[in-house]
Structure 1
Amino acid sequence: MLKPSQLSIVVGDRKVDLARGLLLDERGDIVPLRPRAWAVLRLLAQHVGRLVSKNEILDKVWSDCEVTEDSLVQAIGDIRRALGEAGRLALRTLPRRGYMLVANGVPIDDPVSSNVATSSRSDSNWEPSASSSIPHLSIVVLPFANKCGDVEQEYFVDGVTDSLTTDLSRIAGAFVICRSTAFTFKGKAVDVRQIGRELNVRYALEGSVQRGSNRFRVNVQLSDTETGAQLWAERFDKLDADLLNMQDEIVSRLANTLNAELIKAEARRAERSLRPDAMDLYFQGRAFQNKGITPAVMARARDFFVRALALDPDCIEAAVATAHVDLAIGSSSMVDDGSVHFRAAEKALSNVLLQAPNHPRAHMFLGAIQIRTNRAVKGIAECQQALALDPNLADAHGFIALGKYALGRGEEVEGHIQEALRLSPRDTRTFLWFMFVGMAKLMINADLEALNWLRRSIEANPNYALSHFHLAGVLAMMRDIKEARSSAEVGLALDPGFTIRRYDISVSFLSDNPGWLARRECFYEAMRLAGVPEG
């Protein structure tokens, strides 16, 4: 049996006391750490001076739930802050491999060997302390109820629960209780507030599946486990078809809708916080991003992300979201030179992927930047990699559609957008997808179809100036000058600084396809007729 002194190491002015499960400062006071962050620190301290792979940490610390690598990165950020100034040097990141804790020379007595027992859920150190908070965006998917009247459909109902548990774990910053724990509540009457206390989660998702003569109906509701209040409810009907394909579609739609709903819920919580942390600020910024793409919205969202990174420079989600803001600004003709924003976004995303090489949204946005900067083939491949990591990433299909447009393959664009809509028909980004199809239809001289898709874009989000300018150009090409001028006026009210010159600079990065360039000149002339300033 090792003595307590053999289970302590010193890192700067901090002491990692493994025997008592505590991190202490120079005065011997306890430095608070959330249970998972402590478990990561303990594992690294048990192997001080040695690389511990990401997979090993995830397997041992998060063995009871499904999480993405982002949860590990967040825990590492928590540990670095708790370790103080020395933590930034002592806790080393080995890109693509893992992490290493380096103590001040030698541990207090003997080096902590790898034979020390590793963490487990049964260890008393796993119990949440009074100072620990419930993890952000933590959720349990309770087993869906089978109301099909057929026990043979049980596998289908359980499959929906299983798949949804897996897919929600891909949401940025999510903490999802694993299936084996969730299924202990199967068939039981539940009180979501009690479940929240037992599992230390903020949200509970309940649902049921009912089968009629020729269709399935799925009912779901999301509840706040602190108050028991219902935050969101949805009913999803699907015609009876191939069960496996139908299950995938149901789960994808639910996961994408829940993503947006959970972001809103987390943002509302953060607004009530007197001392918001980095993830609180991140979720508030994401909630603003989901409102659309205008200079004011982008500025407000960026402010939240910058503040999040100031609190936690290792907050990967805030870094990705900041890059997304730069991508949006550079793509929407809001500034004279979008290339500055594209370069900033690409640099930030490249740094993120060094730390988290399997981050789906980072790959997707990097692909979008490559598409926007005349590297469409490479960008499409990057978006396809993002889809391999997260098949529910509907926006990746949208960016692939944009890539096909840039390559002059306008006839292929609508198919990719239809796939995005299949996965996420109520997505906050549909206005962009509709606009991509509209411009692709214009490229292949299907002007009436272009008009209809651009009208759909404005219906989905009337506050996106670029859709109004595109509609103005198409209307002018069809010689409806009066309505074209009206549409241009709406666009200028939203973005008074917009000019054809600024737009030309923005889209010049997109493609050098000859057919696309020729059609673009006709479009510019139409925009002039609509009254869009030359600049």
Structure 2
Amino acid sequence: MRYFFEDYSFDTERRELQRGPEIIPIARQVFALLEYLIRNRDRVVSKDDLVDAIWNGRIVSDAALTTRLNAARNAVGDSGQEQRLIKTLARQGFRFVGTIVEDRAAGPGGPATDGGESARMPSTTPRLSVAVMPFANLSGEVRQDDFVDAMTENLTSDISRLPDYFVISSKTAFAFKGKTVDARQIGRELGVRYVLEGSVQSGADRLRVNAQLIDAESGAHIWAERFDKPRSDPFEMQDEITARLARAMDIQLVAAEARRLQSKEALDAVDLALRGWTVFFQKVSVAGAREARSIFEQALRIDNANADVLMGLTEAHLWEVNAYMSEARAEQVRLAETAMSKASGLTPLTARLHFCRAALLIALRAPERALREIELAISLDPDLPYVHVRAGWVKVFLGRSEETEGHLSTAMRLSPRDPMLGTWYALLGLADLQLGRLDMAVDRLRRAIEIAPANELPYFHLAAALALRDRQSEAAEAAETGRRLAPIFRIGKCRLEVQSDNPVFLVQRNRIYQGMERAGVPE
């Protein structure tokens, strides 16, 4: 088995710890201790657990144990003060808290290569593994080097926070600065599947950033993007550019991995998680959520302790529930609660965890608590566009729809070409509809349907907006399309399953029900 975390690989068959291409010397007992912590990373390991596993139950002094723990931390660039990877919990024990990517297919060696351009990468490279190369400074100004280098480091940091990613540290990547090296060679040397390259060009009043994502196995260019931004505060520019790049690269990398899976016969839980999320994001609809849910359930039968899968299952259930199209609402909410509870025990508190919990609390008719969760998510990862979208959505249920647009503007700035963009316009249209801004609601809901025509709920909101504007034939057409996509949808079901008792929200929502009724949506 090989485990990947940060820019380390930990091979239990070869008994090797590597950082990039460098093998880290590590004593036998220290290796065993690190292996035990990694294998049991889903729980807190007590001192007695370690003594039983590493020393076979012999009496071991606290000093000896502390020495081995410090050596393990030192081997992976951690320390007792920082505790970035190995955390001590007072009077409880120890836990490995780093993000791990597993590769069960790893063997004692990769296929031999001749070092030429046609050499293939070993199959043991982690799935979502990437090296961010130092961006090139094309301005010709030496004083811009620090800005460009800092942007590369910030981008590396942003990408490393994405779940299940294996990202080479900027310190290792900067060894390639100023060198012309083929992406395939970088992939082989650093053990990654993808390489991100880029450049920064500075003008009098604008900054241009070019980036390209390369498949390190084939050398093929997967994606390229250019960002132009007016000059402003350098820290603000860095933050905005790196956040947009990280999100755009995340979308492209997950899509690339999903394409790889099409030719793979035996899928493990991580493969299925990638496929489930891809279906969820590409087939933006209740029907797509149901298909994704089936994939997540298949993944859990293989590995029932995968937090990413559990959160995917939670989101898939709640999409259906919160769209008023569940045929077994109480059961789906219960299953979502169970999955959410288990995910919370498996992973440190992250923005994604609070993000998922907010959707669950909306289904449980607790929008005030949902808002607190999403505010925590934003504080943990303000560059994640989805947390801002969910904040805008929660505000609707609190009778604060006038605040929704500000949250959506932030999300669209962070990810202007997001695969969920259709649902974002749908939310903007819903907020306009709640506020009685009917013409704007019609425009945005039509835009939402144009981007994501399979998404069922916007058709009913569009029907209501058109009917309230006395555009009856158009309203009836929108309602008919919605009913064709979602025959289960009923106004009475919306009333029964309404997620908030906020008086402002309820007055606004009742007007929408009147519009739906006029459009011919059944009660």
- TM norm structure 2: 0.81
In the alignment, structure 1 segments of 5+ residues that lack a partner are: 1-20, 24-30, 62-71, 80-90
How far apart in 1 are the matches of 2:48 and 2:169?
A: 25
Any conservation in 1 of the 2:284–2:452 contact (CA below 8 Å)?
no
1:400 pairs with one of 391, 402, 423: 391
Q: Deviations over 1:436-484 (max 9, x none)?
A: 2222222222222222222222233121110111001110011101111
Task: Indicate the residue corresponding to 1:436 in structure 2.
Answer: 427
How far apart in 2 are the matches of 1:96 and 1:339?
A: 36
Offset at residue 522 of structure 1 (A): 2.5
Rate the CA distance shift 1:396–1:310 in 2: closer, same or farther, 3 A. Answer: same
Any conservation in 2 of the 1:95–1:354 contact (CA below 8 Å)?
no
Q: Any idea what SS the aligned residue of 1:94 has? A: coil
The 5 A counterparts of 1:17-416 are: 46=30, 76=38, 79=39, 91=40, 93-94=42-43, 100-101=49-50, 103=52, 107=56, 114=65, 115=67, 118=72, 120=75, 129-130=108-109, 133-416=124-407
Offset at residue 486 of structure 1 (A): 1.1
Matched, 1:497 2:446: no
Q: Any idea what SS the aligned residue of 1:290 has? A: helix
Q: Residue 75 of structure 2 aligns to which amino acid in structure 1? A: S
- TM norm structure 1: 0.79
How far apart in 1 are the matches of 2:47 and 2:395?
A: 37
How far apart in 2 are the matches of 1:218 and 1:187?
A: 17
Rate the CA distance shift 1:96–1:252 in 2: closer, same or farther, 3 A. Answer: farther
Task: Indicate the residue corresponding to 1:459 in structure 2.
Answer: 450
Q: Deviations over 1:161-204 (max 9, x none)?
A: 11110111111110000010011111110111111111111100
Offset at residue 108 of structure 1 (A): 9.4
In the alignment, structure 2 segments of 5+ residues that lack a partner are: 1-9, 78-105, 111-122
Any conservation in 1 of the 2:247–2:414 contact (CA below 8 Å)?
yes
Any conservation in 1 of the 2:286–2:319 contact (CA below 8 Å)?
no
Identity %: 38
Rate the CA distance shift 1:298–1:371 in 2: closer, same or farther, 3 A. Answer: closer
Matched, 1:511 2:490: no
1:524 pairs with one of 490, 503, 513: 513
Rate the CA distance shift 1:469–1:354 in 2: closer, same or farther, 3 A. Answer: same
Offset at residue 212 of structure 1 (A): 2.5
Rate the CA distance shift 1:436–1:339 in 2: closer, same or farther, 3 A. Answer: farther
Rate the CA distance shift 1:163–1:106 in 2: closer, same or farther, 3 A. Answer: closer
Offset at residue 222 of structure 1 (A): 0.5
Rate the CA distance shift 1:32–1:304 in 2: closer, same or farther, 3 A. Answer: farther
How far apart in 2 are the matches of 1:382 and 1:98?
A: 34
Any conservation in 1 of the 2:159–2:246 contact (CA below 8 Å)?
yes
Any conservation in 2 of the 1:371–1:402 contact (CA below 8 Å)?
no
Q: Any idea what SS the aligned residue of 1:197 has? A: helix
Offset at residue 394 of structure 1 (A): 0.9
Any conservation in 2 of the 1:92–1:100 contact (CA below 8 Å)?
no
How far apart in 2 are the matches of 1:323 and 1:203?
A: 30
Offset at residue 355 of structure 1 (A): 2.4
Task: Indicate the residue corresponding to 2:522 in structure 1.
Answer: 533
How far apart in 1 are the matches of 2:393 and 2:42?
A: 36
